[in-house]
Structure 1
Amino acid sequence: MEHFTPLASTLGGLLIGLAAALLLLTNGRIAGVSGIAGGLLTESTTRERGWRAMFVAGLLIGGLVSGLVAPTSITAADASTATLIAAGLLVGLGTRLGSGCTSGHGVCG
């Protein structure tokens, strides 16, 4: 990462922590992305699916905004789009099968 700065990292960490705390306080849920995304397929109530859909949409929109605001800071991968999508799905499946979530453990312990 050529654009690393302690200030940007600290602010990013604070925002992630704030978002995780708000999710816990408002919904009583830990911020684990694979569990939240998986619930889109398994939850039966509209309320449960609604907040999960908004969370996932926020992740996608955040990535889009980041790419538009600072396009040169995004590192290109040496893999095809299909390979990257397959890898992401396999990581998500593996963490769910292992009753875990990489983001949930990283952010919330």
Structure 2
Amino acid sequence: MESFTPLTAALGGALIGLAAAVLWLGNGRIAGISGIFGQLLPPAQTVVWRVVFLVALIAATFAAAQLFPALGVGGETPARLVEAPAAWGVPTPVWLAIAGLLTGLGTKIGNGCTSGHGVCGLARLSLRSLVAVLVFFGVAVITVTVTGVV
């Protein structure tokens, strides 16, 4: 892992934790992106805060990418989307669409995503979240091993 940057990793983790704590303390909600996004369609009674949260999430990511193009990458090359393994013969847009659908399916089956279980659930000492995170990491290791994409 040649691009390991502990300072930016710690700063990013602290910001994620702060955002989760602010949402929990200010709104009584868990910062699980799949749950926040999943309640937009069909619209839940509380749509406004969900839209504000998601727009802020995307805007902050875009702003960070523009202000610090090499942040977390370990060099001067800006971050970019991963490409599909050439040996598999699947175009990258199709690869990304399949990955997104499988991620959505997994969050539905697991009743949450990495942010909900890994950040908020573990912080609340939830056994269900611990099991979910262990499964997430196990599947990630298997996926990287099989595809060779890091």
**TM category, shorter:** 0.7 to 0.9
Structure 2: state its 5+ residue gaps. Answer: 71-76, 85-91, 123-150
Structure 1: state its 5+ residue gaps. Answer: none
The answer on 1:60 being equivalent to 2:58 is yes
Instruction: Give the whole-Å Cα distance in 2 for the aligned partners of 1:93 and 1:19.
Output: 25
**TM-score, length of structure 1 as denominator length:** 0.82
2:111 to 77, 89, 99: 99
**Which amino acid in structure 1 is aligned with residue 27 of structure 2?**
N
1:99 aligned counterpart, secondary structure: coil
1:74 to 50, 70, 79: 79
Higher fraction of helix: 1
Q: Against the structure 1 CA distance between its residues 25 and 14, is the aligned structure 2 distance closer, same or farther, given a 3 Å change threshold?
A: same
Cα deviation per residue 1:1-33 (whole Å; 9 max; x = unaligned)? 644321111111111000000000111011111
Task: Name which structure has the greater RCO, CA cutoff 8 Å, separation 6+.
Answer: 1
1:42 aligned counterpart, secondary structure: coil
2:83 aligned counterpart, secondary structure: coil
The residue correspondences of 1:20-99 to structure 2 (distance < 5 A) are: 20-45=20-45, 48-69=46-67, 70=69, 72-79=77-84, 80-99=92-111
Instruction: Give the whole-Å Cα distance in 2 for the aligned partners of 1:35 and 1:68.
Output: 28
Cα deviation per residue 1:22-64 (whole Å; 9 max; x = unaligned)? 000111011111000001113432xx11111111112222232
Number of residues of Structure 1 aligned to a counterpart in Structure 2: 107
**Which amino acid in structure 2 is aligned with residue 107 of structure 1?**
V
What is the root-mean-square deviation of aligned Cα atoms in Å? Answer: 2.0
**Greater CA radius of gyration, 1 or 2?**
2
**Which amino acid in structure 2 is aligned with residue 7 of structure 1?**
L
**TM-score, length of structure 2 as denominator length:** 0.62
2:15 counterpart residue number = 15
Moved runs in structure 1, 4+ residues, more than 4 A? none
- The percentage of aligned residue pairs carrying the same residue is 51
